[in-house]
Amino acid sequence: MTDAPRTAPRATDLLRTAHTSALAPAVLDAIRAMLVAAFDGDFGDEDWDHGLGGVHAYVEDEHGVVAHGSVIMRRVVHAGRAHRVGYVEGVAVRADRRRQGLGSRVMAALEEVIDGAYAFGALSASDEGAELYRARGWQLWNGRIEAYGPGGVVHLPHEEDSTYLVPSAGRPLPAAEKGALMFDWRDGDVL
């Protein structure tokens, strides 16, 4: 990320939210192209698939999509209870529009969805993105991370320093001392 000066959003910036099923193929293509560019090409088919099937929040300006994030449902087991969790995926801002509050606008829209539909929110943050999430009240999970894999439970130690949670509508977050967070399995990066 560059340390460009922070400027106010433009009057032409339009925030939209929609379920994947309501987005036209051209809009999905534009979102995907922006994500590939924002992640410097390190955004593949499985990454794209992980962000589909939920609610997308994205900002458009006169040149196209400039910011995006989605929240999808995942099952997470903690202390013997399965939770419906709003898992945040594909959060990025086009390089020329970073540090203008667009990521915060996208996250605010996704957090509304989490508050209305899920037990809590979760995400796996890059080093660059962690500051945004912490500033918005997301908390680093200080416990064990696991996933239900095809061969049984798999420990994911590489996710234990990048998994963040946010409470939903005043509900308490899981307590690390009561056990691991066990995520449902998926192809590619599990988290």
Mean pLDDT value across the chain: 93
Mean pLDDT, range 113-139, rounded to an integer: 96
3-state helix/strand/coil string of the chain? CCCCCCCCCCCCCEEEEEEHHHCCHHHHHHHHHHHHHHCCCCCCHHHHHHCCCCEEEEEEECCEEEEEEEEEEEEEEECCEEEEEEEEEEEEECHHHCCCCHHHHHHHHHHHHHHHHCCEEEEECCCCCHHHHHHCCCEECCCCEEEEECCEEEECHHHCCCEEEEECCCCCCCCHHHCCEEECCCCCCCC
The reported pLDDT for the residue numbered 124 is 96
Residue 71: pLDDT band (50, 70, 90) is: very high
pLDDT band at 3 (very low <50, low <70, confident <90, very high): very low
- Residue 11: what pLDDT? 64
Share of the chain above pLDDT 70, in %: 94
Per-residue pLDDT, 89: 98
Q: Rounded mean pLDDT of 125-136? A: 94
Calculate mean pLDDT across residues 14-43: 97
What is the domain partition of the chain in residue ranges?
A: 14-183
What is the pLDDT, as a whole number, of residue 5? 45
How confident is the model at residue 120, as a pLDDT?
A: 97
pLDDT at 21 over 80: yes
**Is the predicted pLDDT of residue 34 greater than 60, yes or no?**
yes
pLDDT of residue 190: 84
CATH code for the part of the protein at 14-183 = 3.40.630.30
